[in-house]
Amino acid sequence: DSGVTQTPKHLITATGQRVTLRCSPRSGDLSVYWYQQSLDQGLQFLIQYYNGEERAKGNILERFSAQQFPDLHSELNLSSLELGDSALYFCASSPTGTSEAFFGQGTRLTVV
């Protein structure tokens, strides 16, 4: 157990809908990362937050947004969902932005 908690574990929703994925980082970790992993693909970096502020942005679609709250948990919002958004979404946290990242178990999103 990495100490990073993601909810829900599984999510099935229809095209056009909006969902929110939640991540609780390890206790004391200030940095949160979000990644998308499609079937048999690598981890695609979406966005990073550090102590509530956006630190780095990857290939995140405009339909996607995220935030990190004062208690350091983070949410990833996915809207106007398309079939191609079906993937595993991982959250990771680290104490600072320079140390190794610890991953949650992921949320498997299926868009039908």
Partner 1 sequence: GQNIDQPTEMTATEGAIVQINCTYQTSGFNGLFWYQQHAGEAPTFLSYNVLDGLEEKGRFSSFLSRSKGYSYLLLKELQMKDSASYLCAVRNDNAGNMLTFGGGTRLMVKP
Interface ranges with partner 1 (CB under 8 A): 2, 31, 33, 35, 41-45, 48, 50, 55-56, 58, 88, 90, 92, 97-98, 100-106
Alpha-helical regions (H) of the chain = none
Nearer CB in complex with partner 1: 71/100: 100
| String of DSSP letters for 39-57 | TT--PEEEEEEETTEEEEE
Q: CB of 50 within 8 A of CB of 92?
A: no
Residue 14: CB minimum distance to partner 1, A? 23
Residue 42: CB minimum distance to partner 1, A? 4
Nearer CB in complex with partner 1: 65/97: 97
* The token pair that represents 103 in the structure block: 């991953």
Q: CB of 19 within 8 A of CB of 78?
A: yes
Residue 16 to residues 65, 98, 111: CA-CA distances in angstroms?
Answer: 16, 37, 9
* The token pair that represents 94 in the structure block: 């680290």
Nearer CB in complex with partner 1: 55/73: 55
Nearer CB in complex with partner 1: 37/79: 37
Residue 98: CB minimum distance to partner 1, A? 6
Residue 6: CB minimum distance to partner 1, A? 9
